[in-house]
Amino acid sequence: MRRKIVAGNWKMNNTLEEGIELAGQINDLVENTEINDVDVVIGTPFIHLTEVNKVVGEKIGVAAQNCADEKSGAYTGEISASMIKSTGSKYVILGHSERRTYYGETNEILVKKVNLTLENGLAPIFCIGEVLEEREAEKHFDVVKSQIAEGLFHLSAEEFGKVVLAYEPVWAIGTGVTASSDQAQEMHAFIRKTLVEQYGEEVANNTSILYGGSCKPSNAKELFENADVDGGLIGGASLKAEDFMGIITAF
């Protein structure tokens, strides 16, 4: 059966020292709190990966927030999937709307990143989601379906089994506006139906689909109660250990 996952996305925040401190605080809380069978993930900037992996125990997985679309070589400033793997990390967040919008990440580029991530034994946390105009024009289902199809449907069922999906309506990211519980469930059910059509019931039912977008301790429970919402990808609220824990314990 699919895993429940709460993953933090620190984005471009925290010096190395601050990141080590925050990871230590989260680790202490996770170690000393009764947690309801939830996988906890911390998505840090590249510079933190090695040290955060040393600070956290087995109950926490570490994620990078991006990886290069090439294996290795003359790509100044890039970080490859194998380099991320060598830090002890387990996940790579891919296709975040900020990367799609600010860094021109297309589905074509994402296919290369997804493949390299999987080849290196890392699990992609693959982000999808519509902008407000697309929702208002009632195109949100088509947009999300094509992001999934173009970014992931080249994978075999076995490969796809390692992917975590994160539905993040762009209008809800960092805005304080959260999708309603019904809007989240409606989209997550649609995504799962899309996976059934491509890979069948078993793969679809084993895929964790996270919600992201202004999720916080006060709304996490209502969102996570939905049948097809398997956890969250958390931005702002993952930068404070207590808030992040409040979301983890919402299950």
Task: Give the shortest CB-39-to-ligand PEP separation in angstroms.
Answer: 17
Residue 215, interface with ligand PEP (CB under 6 A)?
yes
Instruction: Give the CA dihedral 10, 13, 19, 22, nearest 10 degrees.
Output: -60
Cβ closer to ligand PEP: 64 or 173? 173
Residue 235, interface with ligand PEP (CB under 6 A)?
yes
**Position with the least CB separation from ligand PEP:** 235
Residue 61, interface with ligand PEP (CB under 6 A)?
no
Q: Is residue 11 annotated as involved in ligand binding?
A: yes
Alpha helices in 120-234 (DSSP H): 132-136, 140-152, 157-160, 181-199, 201-206, 217-224
Which residues, 6 or more positions from 45, have their beta carbon under 8 angstroms from its beta carbon?
10, 11, 12, 13, 14, 19, 65
Residues 185 and 191: their CA atoms lie apart, in Å, by 10
Cβ closer to ligand PEP: 181 or 198? 181
Residues classed as catalytic: 96, 168
The angle subtended at Cα 226 by Cα 223 and Cα 231, nearest 5°, is 60
Residues from 15 through 34 that contact ligand PEP (CB under 6 A): none
Q: Is residue 214 annotated as involved in ligand binding?
A: yes
Residues from 166 through 205 that contact ligand PEP (CB under 6 A): 168, 173-174
* Contact residue for ligand PEP among 81, 233, 248, 250 (CB under 6 A): 233
Strand, helix or coil at 81? helix
Q: Is residue 115 annotated as involved in ligand binding?
A: no
Residues 55 and 65: their CA atoms lie apart, in Å, by 19
Residue 128, interface with ligand PEP (CB under 6 A)?
no
How many C-beta atoms lie closer than 10 Å to residue 57's C-beta? 9
Interface with ligand PEP by CB under 6 A: which residues? Answer: 9, 168, 173-174, 212-215, 233-237
The annotated binding site for substrate is made up of: 9-11, 174, 214, 235-236
The annotated binding site is made up of: 9-11, 174, 214, 235-236
